[in-house]
Amino acid sequence: QKYNVAVLGATGLVGRQIIETLEDRKFPVDQLFLLASSRSAGEDIKFRGETIEVQDVEGFDFSQAHIGLFSAGGSVSEKYAPIAADAGCVVIDNTSHFRNDFEVPLVVPEVNAASLEDFRNRNIIANPNCSTIQMMLALKPIYDAYGIDRINVSTYQAVSGAGKEAVDELAKQTANLMNARPMENEIFPKQIAFNVIPQIDTFEDNGYTREEMKMVNETHKILGDTTIAVNPTCVRVPVFFGHSESINIETRMPYDFEHVKQLLNDAPGVELIEDEGDYPTAVSDASGNDTVYIGRLRADISHPHGLNMWVVSDNTRKGAATNSVQIAEELIANYL
């Protein structure tokens, strides 16, 4: 059986990656509808060697599509996801808009695929934030075996998380700096070239950013456990693709280090780098593929149940497009 698929935000960084991932993973697409705003309607994008014209989402008849992969921003999903869902199109939404809605499942297929069945509540499934997805893949096997009391995490996030204009801003600022020209920042709150910015998204009343609170709330929802204390600091770094995370956890029960290594070696979607003196990085390992890499695994010398790790993954792939397409694969395998 084949499915009609609509990609909303088709001209964006994640949208283009979704189109590539559908092709690479041989998703059984019958008709592909590429949707964006009126700004880019009429543009051509290639899929499986064919040229498809981008359509304005305004006025698109979603009853033509079985599955919608949405990645055009929260306010666009707020408007169009219910329209699509009511027309019978199952929406897999890559924005933050529906993630905290208790009726909408928030799914990382390797971690909580079973929760997908709740998609029937609203015909909408939420794809988690990229920084949460890679952390969940690394922590789920340890959580299942020993429980987790607390997570302290600092992220080092690539500019591509903020979209194509953000990628352009880093490139432009870098070139300007090389040419000793003045630099302007429009997308990021401060200069991002050759800098590090401890702010992703806007601030909430508690002094944490929205990106940080996503890591708290999404971890609780995906693992189905609100007792885990999560303390994140999210930071933007001048890297184009691939988020990095320094994660420290305190397990609920004492852990066996060799067993943890074995769990991570057996876990789906992750690769543990154990070679002495080696470790994965966003650019040299994660960027351009779907694996979540773990390195620097070591016992925390300051806490008996503490464990440290370094986790990198391509935020536009496993952090967004690939996870969405994997959800679609689960959906057609088990429900549609």
**Which positions touch ligand A2P (CB under 6 A)?**
9-13, 15, 36-37, 39-40, 57, 72-73, 76, 163-165
The nearer residue to ligand A2P, 140 or 243, going by C-beta atoms, is: 243
Task: From residue 244, give the alpha-carbon distance in Å to each of 57, 102, 270, 315.
Answer: 34, 29, 14, 9
Instruction: Rule CB under 6 A: choose which of 55, 96, 134, 287 binds ligand 11C.
Output: 96
130's contact among ligand 11C, ligand A2P, none, with CB below 5 to 8 A by partner kind, is ligand 11C
Instruction: Tell me phi and psi for residue 140, to 5 degrees.
Output: -55, -50
13's contact among ligand 11C, ligand A2P, none, with CB below 5 to 8 A by partner kind, is ligand A2P
- What is the footprint of ligand 11C within residues 172-211 (CB under 6 A)? 200, 211
Shortest CB 76 distance to ligand A2P, Å:
5
The nearer residue to ligand 11C, 67 or 192, going by C-beta atoms, is: 192
The nearer residue to ligand A2P, 154 or 185, going by C-beta atoms, is: 185
Q: Which residues are catalytic?
A: 130, 243
Instruction: Tell me phi and psi for residue 235, to 5 degrees.
Output: -130, 135
The nearer residue to ligand 11C, 110 or 211, going by C-beta atoms, is: 211
Q: Which residues contact 167 (CB under 8 A, 6 or more apart)?
A: 13, 159, 160, 240
10's contact among ligand A2P, ligand 11C, none, with CB below 5 to 8 A by partner kind, is ligand A2P
Q: Which residues contact 329 (CB under 8 A, 6 or more apart)?
A: 25, 27, 109
Three-point CA angle 248, 132, 320, nearest 5°: 145
Question: Does residue 287 bind ligand 11C (CB under 6 A)?
Answer: no
Cα-trace Rg, the chain: 20
SS3 231: strand
SS3 94: coil
The nearer residue to ligand A2P, 73 or 147, going by C-beta atoms, is: 73
- What is the footprint of ligand 11C within residues 98-157 (CB under 6 A)? 129-131, 157
The nearer residue to ligand A2P, 7 or 148, going by C-beta atoms, is: 7
Give the integer Cα–Cα distance in Å for 325 and 112.
15
161's contact among ligand 11C, ligand A2P, none, with CB below 5 to 8 A by partner kind, is ligand 11C
- 117 and 196 Cβ atoms separated by less than 8 Å: no
Give the integer Cα–Cα distance in Å for 131 and 108.
12
DSSP for 239-277?
-SS-EEEEEEEEESS---HHHHHHHHHHSTTEEE--STT
Instruction: Rule CB under 6 A: choose which of 67, 139, 162, 307 binds ligand 11C.
Output: 162
251's contact among ligand A2P, ligand 11C, none, with CB below 5 to 8 A by partner kind, is none
Shortest CB 23 distance to ligand 11C, Å:
23
Interaction site with ligand 11C (CB under 6 A): 95-96, 129-131, 157, 161-162, 200, 211, 214, 315
